[in-house]
Amino acid sequence: MIKHIKPLRFMLVGLLGLCVIFSATAQTPIEITLKNGFIEKYKNRVTIEATFTVDKAHKNVNPPSKDGDMHIAGRAPEIGLATVAEIMNAKQENPAVTFVKSIQGTGDTATFTGAWRLWCEHAGGDAQVQGAALEPFDTTNPDHVFEIHPVVRLNQISLLKSLIPIEGFQTKDAERAFTSYEKIDSTIVPHKTTTTVITEMGGFNYVEFAVMLNENPTFTTGDGRMVFVSIYDLDGNLLVRNRRLVFVKDSPPELRVKALKKGDTLHVVGVPRINLALLSWRTKKAKTKPAVLKWNLPYEIIIVGVYSDTPEIE
C-alpha cells in the first residue's frame, strides 16, 4: 500500500472508457520515418540541443488547470521534423517566455535544449518524414510527432527548476495511462538508411505514479541518467514490471534519483516517448527474429517532476 500520496482519486466513468476504446479502433495509422543515424545518436541520450527557429508561440501561457505549459512551434535542422517545444511551469519562467515572444516569426534562431520526445499525440494524417522540407508554421500546434519537452535551457537561460509537479493540474491516472501505453500497436519497417514506424495515437501526458528501482541508478549519459524500474499506481498496484525512466541531468528529479539504490521508491510525474534504444535493437534483432518488428510500441518515460514523499510499497 502506498501512503500519503493522494487522499482522494476521482472515480473513472465506464462510458468514457468505452468511447476511448471505440475511438482508438477507428484511428488512421501514423507513419514516422527516421534517419538511422539519428536513432543511433539519440537512443541513449536524454536531451537534444537544437538551433530552433520560433515560428509561433502561445500568446499567453496555459493556466495550471490546462498544464501550465508554453507551446512553441518551430523548426530545427538537427531534428528535421515539425517540432513543438514546451516550457513547463511557464508562468514562473518570465525571462524565457519574454525572449521567445521577442523572436517568434522573425526568422531568428535560438539554442533550445531539452528532452527530445517522439510521441504520437498530435500527429495528424500525413506521414512524418525526417528531413522533408518544412514551411514556417502559423499555429502553435501543427501536426507533429516530435517535441522538445520539457525545455531545460534557452540560450543561456536555465529552466531546470521548472521540472517540478504542476500545482493546480489534475495529473493523469496511472492505471489508465500505462494500460494504454502497453497496448499501442506498432510495425517497424527497416530500410537501408532510414526506419519507418507505423503506429497509432498515444495520449496521457503528465501521468502520476510510483516506482521501485530495479537497479542502482548508475547509468549516466552525459546529459542525464536512465534507470529501469517497476511501476505502480497510487494505491500500490503493480502496473509494469520493467520500464526505463529517463532523467535530465541536474534537474530536481535527477538530483533525487541519483542518491537512491535498488529497491528504493519514488513518487513521480512523467511523459512518455518512443524508446529509440529498443527501436534500434528490434531492427537488428529482426534478422533472426522477424516477429520483433510487430511487437507493441517501445516506450519509456521522461520524469519531469518528483514529489517529496517516499511511497511505501508492500
Rounded Cα–Cα distance for residues 39 and 41 (Å): 6
- Encode pLDDT of 18-67 as tens digits: 344 434 445 689 999 999 999 999 999 999 999 999 999 999 999 999 99
pLDDT band, very low/low/confident/very high, at 192 (cuts 50, 70, 90): very high
β-pair partners for 86 = 71
| Of residues 148, 84, 78, the one with CA closest to residue 122 | 84
How many beta carbons lie within 10 A of that of residue 104, not counting itself? 19
Question: What pLDDT does 20 receive?
Answer: 41
pLDDT band, very low/low/confident/very high, at 140 (cuts 50, 70, 90): very high
pLDDT band, very low/low/confident/very high, at 2 (cuts 50, 70, 90): low
Give the residue-averaged pLDDT of 83-92.
Answer: 98
- Encode pLDDT of 210-263 as tens digits: 999 999 999 999 999 999 999 999 999 999 999 999 999 999 999 999 999 999
Let me know: does 302 contact 207? Beta carbons within 8 Å: no
Average pLDDT for the chain: 93
Domains of the chain, start order = 31-159 (2.40.50), 174-306 (2.40.50)
In the predicted structure, residue 13 carries a pLDDT above the cut 60: no
Give the residue-averaged pLDDT of 156-161.
Answer: 98
Unique residue bearing C-alpha cell 465506464: 14
Question: What pLDDT does 279 receive?
Answer: 98
pTM for this predicted structure: 0.92
Rounded Cα–Cα distance for residues 84 and 146 (Å): 7
- E-only strand ranges, the chain: 30-35, 47-57, 70-75, 83-87, 109-122, 128-129, 144-154, 157-158, 186-190, 194-199, 207-213, 219-220, 224-232, 238-248, 265-274, 299-306
Give the residue-averaged pLDDT of 190-200.
Answer: 98
Question: What pLDDT does 314 receive?
Answer: 80
